[in-house]
């Protein structure tokens, strides 16, 4: 089966959706499917690459509009493929990426497309939250896309209920939770990175956050919570992003330079060691842009309890309150501090929740289970 994945970026660009598409593309390729990924490049050059065996076409990026890279070449390349004799059987879109969705929508009206065109599935990762002006213009087109694709794939059941775009189309939604290679995080790493060894040289429990430093991650609230968290605990922040300077400034103003460690970007090979070394994982997200929280799966795979927030998305579907961790209201430093302290003061509870989280991850969120679910959908639609 020939499968085409469309999004704005792909590995080695780091991000939850980028990693998800990478794992999915590589897994489908390993199962014998003919896979191609169509994304934009980071500059004005179009280039073809093969990344871990997967053909990736990165089309020239003209400019970025509200975090959405514009590339007319991407639309042209998609149309060329669906009108060729060797067209894909499945086109898999990943939203939100308006230019990619509009390219698909326009292509669905091309002469000769009709019922002979490829089946389209759309993984709905998140509503558009921050770019309200863009959404005002784009909403009618998004609804048209959602009506015309064959299947909508939310990443959790709850997102269907909370999204104004998915609620009217619940009948064509089929939740497919994200999955990861759990085994990467389950063992004890043989080598401890030098930076981590330096962090662990000081005594005391460690809190961990991993991810892009963006507004919706809510890290400012976690940093503000640190003065109320047990003084021997330190927070390790793994990742880079547009909020880094602001967060470092907040840390300095609160006099927390000794308790908040910015570890920067960490390689995939080193990341499991950070989870293994930590005591509690915290995802303090404050906006619905955090629709799933893939990093929670990494922590759960490593048998670590999770503190997360209730956003009406998939974050509390992954981390179940009182079972695999604790869930608190968003943008609430006091609530974050209370949850973290409860776990810090009860080693037995930390261990129990970490073990239950690991069992839940193995039962529901393995990469194999996700790929099986999607492959079944692909086969059904292409038959």
Q: Is the pLDDT of residue 378 over 90?
A: yes
Question: What pLDDT is attached to residue 133?
Answer: 75
Greatest Cα pair distance in the chain: 67
* Residue 102: count of CB within 10 angstroms of its CB: 16
Q: Is the pLDDT of residue 306 over 70?
A: yes
156: phi then psi, degrees, rounded to nearest 5:
-155, 150
> Which whole number is the average pLDDT over 147-176?
95
> Which whole number is the average pLDDT over 330-338?
98
Question: What pLDDT is attached to residue 113?
Answer: 59
pLDDT in tens, 78-117: 999 988 888 999 999 999 999 999 999 998 887 655 556 7
Q: Which two structure tokens, joined as six digits, stand for 324? A: 């695999």
CA 201 to chain centre: 31
Indicate the domain borders of the chain.
Answer: 2-179+366-382, 183-364
Number of residues in the chain: 383
Q: What share of the chain is helix, strand, coil (3-state, %, to 5)?
A: 45, 20, 35
Q: Which CATH class is domain 183-364?
A: alpha beta
Question: What pLDDT is attached to residue 112?
Answer: 58
201: phi then psi, degrees, rounded to nearest 5:
-65, -25
Pairing label, strands 68-70, 63-65 = antiparallel
Question: What pLDDT is attached to residue 233?
Answer: 98
Cβ atoms of 313 and 159 within 8 Å: the answer is yes
Taking the C-alpha atoms of residue 100 and residue 37, their distance in angstroms, rounded to an integer, is: 12
> Which H or E element spans position 283?
strand 280-283
pLDDT in tens, 193-233: 999 999 999 999 999 999 999 999 999 999 999 999 999 99
Cβ atoms of 320 and 360 within 8 Å: the answer is yes
- The per-residue pLDDT of the chain, averaged, comes to 93
Most confident of 1-15, 134-148, 241-255: 241-255
> Which whole number is the average pLDDT over 47-74?
91
What is the value of pTM for the model shown? 0.90
Q: Which two structure tokens, joined as six digits, stand for 344? A: 């810090």
CA 104 to chain centre: 22
97: phi then psi, degrees, rounded to nearest 5:
-150, 85
DSSP 119: E
Question: What pLDDT is attached to residue 86?
Answer: 87
C-alpha neighbours within 13 Å on the C-beta side of residue 193 = 19
Q: Which two structure tokens, joined as six digits, stand for 92? A: 């898999």
Question: What pLDDT is attached to residue 14?
Answer: 76
What percent of the chain lies above the pLDDT cut of 70? 98
Nearest to 166 by CA among 8, 291, 16: 291
What percent of the chain lies above the pLDDT cut of 90? 83
Question: What pLDDT is attached to residue 196?
Answer: 95
Q: Is the pLDDT of residue 239 over 90?
A: yes
Question: What pLDDT is attached to residue 65?
Answer: 72
CA Rg value for the chain: 21
Give yes or no on whether 2-179+366-382 and 183-364 have one common fold. Answer: yes
199: phi then psi, degrees, rounded to nearest 5:
-65, -45
Most confident of 102-106, 264-268, 345-349: 345-349
More confident residue, 114 or 15: 15
Q: Is 338 helix (H, G, I), strand (E, B) or coil?
A: helix
Q: Is the pLDDT of residue 268 over 90?
A: no
The architecture that CATH gives domain 2-179+366-382 is: 3-Layer(aba) Sandwich (3.40)
Question: What pLDDT is attached to residue 52?
Answer: 94
Nearest to 314 by CA among 129, 180, 174, 177: 177
């Amino acid at each position: 089966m020939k499968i085409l994945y469309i999004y704005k970026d792909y590995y080695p660009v780091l991000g939850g959706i980028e990693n998800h598409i990478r794992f999915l593309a590589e897994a489908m390729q390993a199962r014998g499917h003919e896979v191609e990924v169509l994304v934009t490049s980071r500059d004005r050059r179009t280039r073809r690459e093969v990344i871990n065996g997967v053909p990736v076409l990165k089309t020239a990026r003209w400019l970025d509009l509200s975090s959405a890279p514009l590339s007319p070449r991407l639309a042209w390349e998609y149309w060329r493929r669906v009108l060729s004799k060797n067209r894909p059987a499945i086109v898999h879109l990943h939203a939100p990426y308006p230019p990619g969705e509009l390219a698909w929508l326009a292509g669905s009206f091309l002469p000769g497309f009709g019922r002979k065109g490829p089946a389209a599935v759309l993984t709905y990762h998140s509503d558009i939250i921050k770019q309200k002006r863009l959404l005002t213009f784009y909403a009618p087109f998004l609804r048209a896309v959602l009506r015309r694709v064959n299947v909508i794939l939310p990443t959790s059941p709850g997102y269907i209920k909370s999204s104004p775009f998915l609620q009217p189309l619940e009948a064509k939604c089929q939740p497919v939770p994200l999955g990861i290679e759990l085994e990467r995080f389950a063992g004890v790493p043989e080598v401890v990175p030098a930076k981590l060894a330096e962090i662990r040289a000081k005594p005391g429990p460690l809190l961990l956050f991993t991810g892009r430093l963006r507004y919706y991650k809510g890290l400012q609230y976690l940093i503000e919570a640190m003065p109320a968290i047990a003084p021997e605990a330190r927070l390790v922040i793994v990742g880079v992003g547009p909020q880094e300077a602001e967060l470092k400034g907040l840390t300095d103003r609160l006099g927390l330079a000794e308790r908040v460690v910015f570890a920067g970007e960490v390689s995939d090979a080193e990341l499991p060691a950070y989870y293994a070394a930590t005591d509690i994982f915290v995802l303090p997200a404050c906006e619905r842009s955090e629709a799933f929280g893939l990093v929670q799966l990494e922590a759960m795979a490593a048998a670590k309890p999770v503190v997360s927030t209730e956003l009406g998305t998939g974050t509390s579907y992954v981390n179940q309150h009182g079972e695999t961790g604790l869930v608190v209201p968003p943008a609430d430093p006091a609530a974050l501090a209370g949850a973290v302290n409860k776990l810090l003061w009860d080693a037995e509870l930390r261990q129990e929740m970490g073990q239950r989280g690991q069992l839940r991850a193995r039962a529901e969120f393995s990469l194999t289970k996700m790929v099986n679910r999607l492959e079944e959908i692909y086969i059904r639609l292409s038959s």
